[in-house]
Amino acid sequence: MNLNKRALFLIIPVVFLSFLVASSAFYWSLEKTIRGLEENRLELAITELTTSFHQYSTFAESYLEATLQNTALRRFLSSQDSQYKQVSLGTAITKATGKFKHHRSDRLSFLIVDHINMEKPKEQFFFEISDDPFSNLSSGLRRDYESFIASNNSRVWGYTQEPDGTGKITTSRIVDRITLFEPTDIASNNSVLLQLAVEPTRYLELKKSLIETYQADISYNKVLPNNSYAFRNKAYLGPGEVLFIDVPESYLTERLLPVRATIILVSIALFFVSALILLHLVKRYITGPIESLESQLSNVVDQHQDNISISHIGNDEVGRLQRTFHKLYGELATAYKRTKQLAERDPLTQLHNMSYIHEQAANAIEEAREKDECVALIYIDLDNFKFVNDKYGHDVGDALLQAFAARLSSAVRSEDLVCSKKMPLASPGRIAGDEFSVVVRGIHDATVPEQIGKRVLSLFKEGFHFDKGQFPVSASIGISMYPADGDTLAELLANADNAMYQAKDNGKNSIAFYSKELATSMRRRMEIEHELHNMDTDKEFYLVYMPLVATKNNSVDGFEVLLRWNSPKLGFVGPDEFVPIAERCGLFEKIDNWVTENAMRQYAQLKESLGRDFKLSINLSSAQLNLNLIGHRLIELIKQHKIPSHCIQLEMTETLSVEFSRQANQFLELLREQGFNVAIDDFGTGHTALLQLVEYPADMIKFDKTFVEKAMEPTNRAMLGPLVSLCHSQGLKVTVEGVETKEMASYLTDIGCDYLQGYYFGKPAKLEDLKLENF
């Protein structure tokens, strides 16, 4: 049997059975859905019917109550003028119905019966609003009030279904003629029966519509003995009044007949169409490939096409032969593509590698030279990546680089860049390690490189977060431009690298553009970094002490220990210059350990000279606070040198801001639990709000010298007092740096500052140069 016949005898029956099963399942599902929709529709109709009935019932009660409050009724019951009082009462009733216009009724009647007893009832007044101007009291209404009198009740509500399909809601009440309240003796001659009858016109219309729509059987207060119903429901109209609704099965059958016919016709049509399509596909994808296989093989051999196309997916000889040849030639093509990718892509991040960046940048520069355009080279370095890689392992480091590469590709998409002219093209790449680049070509708007840089920086808000956690990593970005900053890639790369280091010096997670001044600064930075790596700390580092004066008794309460560096090659280098470089190149832990160990070692000597314990303030790198590298070492040192922990105050810079606050808070809480004091140093130099700073687990805030100098100006002086009061309200002591005159010291003492520091009290000095007799 050939393949065409095999397909005919095997595929067609399967398709037929599939359509049969699918159509049946679809019909059953649709039937269930239609039944549910009809049930919901009936439920809504019954709800509307019940609501309408209740509105009329409420209307009858409200109308009767309103009539009792009407002065016309009182005049009627007390007046002797029979003709006048009937006209007056009729007019009042007609006006009252205007208040209830939203309850449409084709017939409303009001009846007053005097002398309430079964033998001599007297119909004193009857008024009806209807289409019949000559209407009289009907026998039905008379039976209703006679039945009411016989019940010996003072209030009765009821609904009467008439043989003609209409009905009325009757509300009756017996009241005292004078007070219009319920009498103590219902049969008293002074009692009057008031009866209001309302035809619920809208309710009757809705009931009629429901019967016509659903061919329903409706009965009151009993269930019809009908077993062949599709739906059965009931509505509660009032006390003792229940409406039963039965929808026959024939209603649902009629609804389903068109659906059933449609499904059958559509299924038959789809079956024949599918059968024809399958026969066509069999011919095209089974028998046809046999004829085309030889032609394709010849074209591949003759290099007219790269590979044969797999047009047959079966497991017969043709299919296996096609896949074998396709695999053979596919592996050859894949090997070529893989070799090309390895030559152009970084294997870890899948960004362009340095080799491709060179080629791409060279083409961009050549194109820019011809079109008089600009090219930007953006150099990105990940701050603190080395620490993450060493502390958490290379697997986490590699995962971080991959996550950043993916986000970098999204951040530099050209369609997201705002440009008034031609759209620039930005291509990211990896230079090496944690260094990346973005080559931007076709620049007509000078703001585009900075836009890209800001997009990259936005990826590092509060560190870098990805599926393995949140890590203290930021980015420093340097930008150089063709032709202003170089004519070759080598020049642009070197200058962007220098600008990147300037961004690090500016506080990391920032952008810097290349300039000549920057080049000079970078040479100085490189010299400092080289000396830091090769220095002898014990010979070149030394400590100086700055007095900390308590304002409450104008005495020295302690000292702040400060680090100084005297390099044999560079001379004196200030901490403001070398500390940021040390943090960037990973030497902060080494320096902090040297400072804390030597300061605590000298504590005993200073204590012996002073003859008492004192407060020793030690500055710590913000990286230590964020990464908690020195906490346990501090605890060991105070135990080793027998220093009370409350005598040690650890100072962190305000430029820590809210960056990595969770790690910093945990570290600071650990130190405070051990008894250490914590101070926020250099307040006023960063960008942190004071209300954020007071939320840190700290004991003291130190106002920076520059900040205080500006605050001491006459136009600004009024703000210092409230700032000090706010800190005190949060349980924080206040220290002011840079006090250089007696006037400053007096003023700051008067506004409540707790501690003062500055040259007025003494310059920083080595331990051996301190004049302790003054303290």
Written as one string, the DSSP assignment of 429-449 is EEEETTEEEEEEEEE-STTHH
- Looking at residue 225, its pLDDT comes to 65
pLDDT reading at 694 higher than 70: no
- Looking at residue 269, its pLDDT comes to 86
Contacts of 196 (CB under 8 A, 6+ apart): 60, 63, 64, 67, 108, 109, 110, 111, 170, 171, 172
Q: In degrees, to the nearest 5, what angle opens at C-alpha 494 toward C-alphas 488 and 497?
A: 135
Query: Would 481 be classed as within a structural domain?
Result: yes
Query: Would 29 be classed as within a structural domain?
Result: no
- Looking at residue 602, its pLDDT comes to 93
Q: β-strand 755-756 against 541-550: which pairing, if any?
A: antiparallel
CATH of the domain at 462: 3.30.70.270
Closest-CA residue to 377 (of 445, 436, 433, 457): 436
Task: Judge whether 103 and 59 are in contact, CB under 8 Å.
Answer: yes
- Looking at residue 480, its pLDDT comes to 93
Contacts of 191 (CB under 8 A, 6+ apart): 116, 174, 175, 176, 177, 183, 185
Q: In degrees, to the nearest 5, what angle opens at C-alpha 352 toward C-alphas 347 and 353?
A: 70
Instruction: Say whether both 488 and 359 belong to one domain.
Output: yes
- Looking at residue 579, its pLDDT comes to 86
Query: Would 269 be classed as within a structural domain?
Result: no
Closest-CA residue to 667 (of 168, 656, 170, 608): 656
Query: Would 283 be classed as within a structural domain?
Result: no
- The DSSP result for 707-761, as a single string, is HHHHHTSTTTGGGHHHHHHHHHHTT-EEEE----SHHHHHHHHHTT-SEE-STTT
- Which residue's structure tokens are 């096609």? 322
Q: Span 678-696, mean pLDDT? A: 67
Give me the phi and psi of 732, to 5 degrees please.
Answer: -105, 135
Greatest mean pLDDT range, 239-253, 497-511, 549-563, 669-683: 549-563
CA-CA-CA-CA torsion sign (209, 212, 213, 219): positive
Least confident of 107-116, 333-342, 632-641: 333-342
Least confident of 80-84, 383-387, 400-404: 80-84
**What interhelical angle do 3-68 and 201-214 show, nearest 10?**
160
Q: How confident is the model at residue 419 (pLDDT cuts 50, 70, 90)?
A: very low
Residue % of the chain over a pLDDT of 70? 81
Tally of residues, the chain: 775
- Looking at residue 584, its pLDDT comes to 74
Q: How confident is the model at residue 293 (pLDDT cuts 50, 70, 90)?
A: low
- In total, how many domains does the chain have? 3
pLDDT reading at 581 higher than 60: yes
- Which residue's structure tokens are 């397909």? 7
- Which residue's structure tokens are 């700390």? 537
Instruction: Say whether both 655 and 552 belong to one domain.
Output: yes
Q: How confident is the model at residue 287 (pLDDT cuts 50, 70, 90)?
A: low
Alpha carbon distances (Å) from 228 to 40, 209, 250, 545:
20, 22, 9, 103
Give me the phi and psi of 33, to 5 degrees please.
Answer: -65, -45
Query: Would 616 be classed as within a structural domain?
Result: yes
Closest-CA residue to 561 (of 545, 537, 547): 545
- Looking at residue 573, its pLDDT comes to 92
Higher pLDDT, 328 or 627: 328
- Which residue's structure tokens are 């040690």? 648
Q: Which helix (H) or strand (E) holds 147?
A: helix 139-151
Least confident of 57-71, 101-115, 475-489, 636-650: 101-115
- Looking at residue 742, its pLDDT comes to 92
Residue % of the chain over a pLDDT of 90? 22
434 carries an active-site annotation: yes
Query: Would 636 be classed as within a structural domain?
Result: yes
- Looking at residue 687, its pLDDT comes to 47
- Looking at residue 648, its pLDDT comes to 93
Task: Judge whether 649 and 678 are in contact, CB under 8 Å.
Answer: yes
Instruction: Say whether both 552 and 495 belong to one domain.
Output: no
Task: Judge whether 572 and 565 are in contact, CB under 8 Å.
Answer: yes
Instruction: Say whether both 617 and 719 belong to one domain.
Output: yes
Domain that holds residue 46: 37-225+236-244
Q: Which tens digits make up the pLDDT trace of 427-443? A: 899 998 899 999 998 88
Q: β-strand 555-567 against 541-550: which pairing, if any?
A: antiparallel
Cis? peptide before 258, omega within 30° of 0:
no
CATH of the domain at 582: 3.20.20.450
- Please state, in angstroms and rounded to a whole number, the distance separating the CA atoms of residues 379 and 494: 9
435 φ/ψ sector (left φ>0, alpha ψ -120 to 50, else beta): beta
pLDDT reading at 659 higher than 50: no
Instruction: Say whether both 184 and 78 belong to one domain.
Output: yes
- Looking at residue 657, its pLDDT comes to 42
- Please state, in angstroms and rounded to a whole number, the distance separating the CA atoms of residues 60 and 171: 7
- Please state, in angstroms and rounded to a whole number, the distance separating the CA atoms of residues 733 and 750: 15
Hey, which residues does 631 pair with through a beta bridge? none
Query: Would 762 be classed as within a structural domain?
Result: yes
- Mean pLDDT (the chain) is 81
Closest-CA residue to 100 (of 175, 198, 194): 198
Contacts of 129 (CB under 8 A, 6+ apart): 93, 94, 97, 105, 107, 108, 109
- Please state, in angstroms and rounded to a whole number, the distance separating the CA atoms of residues 89 and 71: 9
pLDDT reading at 658 higher than 60: no
Instruction: Say whether both 722 and 626 belong to one domain.
Output: yes
pLDDT reading at 39 higher than 50: yes
Higher pLDDT, 659 or 190: 190
Task: Judge whether 456 and 472 are in contact, CB under 8 Å.
Answer: no
Q: What is the rounded radius of gyration, in angstroms, for the C-alpha atoms of the chain? A: 48
Alpha carbon distances (Å) from 604 to 68, 116, 271, 541, 638:
102, 115, 99, 20, 11
CATH of the domain at 72: 3.30.450
pLDDT reading at 655 higher than 50: no
DSSP, collapsed to helix, strand or coil, labels residue 384 as: coil
Alpha carbon distances (Å) from 31 to 20, 38, 222, 256, 258:
16, 10, 30, 7, 12
Contacts of 589 (CB under 8 A, 6+ apart): 621, 624, 629, 630
**What interhelical angle do 489-505 and 354-371 show, nearest 10?**
110
Task: Judge whether 382 and 388 are in contact, CB under 8 Å.
Answer: no
- Looking at residue 681, its pLDDT comes to 85
Instruction: Say whether both 645 and 760 belong to one domain.
Output: yes
Closest-CA residue to 196 (of 349, 63, 352, 72): 63
pLDDT reading at 288 higher than 80: no
Higher pLDDT, 86 or 733: 733
- Looking at residue 17, its pLDDT comes to 86
Does the pTM surpass 0.85? The reply is: no
Q: How confident is the model at residue 693 (pLDDT cuts 50, 70, 90)?
A: low
Instruction: Say whether both 557 and 410 belong to one domain.
Output: no
Least confident of 50-64, 129-143, 713-727: 129-143
Q: Which of 197, 215, 244 is the endpoint of a domain?
A: 244
Query: Would 17 be classed as within a structural domain?
Result: no
Catalytic residue among 381, 434, 592, 682: 434
Instruction: Say whether both 479 and 568 belong to one domain.
Output: no
Q: Which of 244, 274, 306 is the endpoint of a domain?
A: 244
Instruction: Say whether both 685 and 547 belong to one domain.
Output: yes
- Please state, in angstroms and rounded to a whole number, the distance separating the CA atoms of residues 512 and 526: 17
- Please state, in angstroms and rounded to a whole number, the distance separating the CA atoms of residues 544 and 563: 7
- Please state, in angstroms and rounded to a whole number, the distance separating the CA atoms of residues 49 and 717: 79
Q: Which tens digits make up the pLDDT trace of 139-177? A: 778 888 878 877 777 788 888 877 777 888 888 888 887
Task: Judge whether 182 and 154 are in contact, CB under 8 Å.
Answer: yes
In terms of C-beta distances under 8 Å and separation of at least 24 residues, what long-range contacts does 122-127 make, across chains too?
Answer: 124/192, 125/76, 125/86, 125/89, 127/86, 127/89, 127/90, 127/93
Instruction: Say whether both 586 and 496 belong to one domain.
Output: no
Q: Which of 462, 496, 514 is the endpoint of a domain?
A: 514
Instruction: Say whether both 552 and 510 belong to one domain.
Output: no
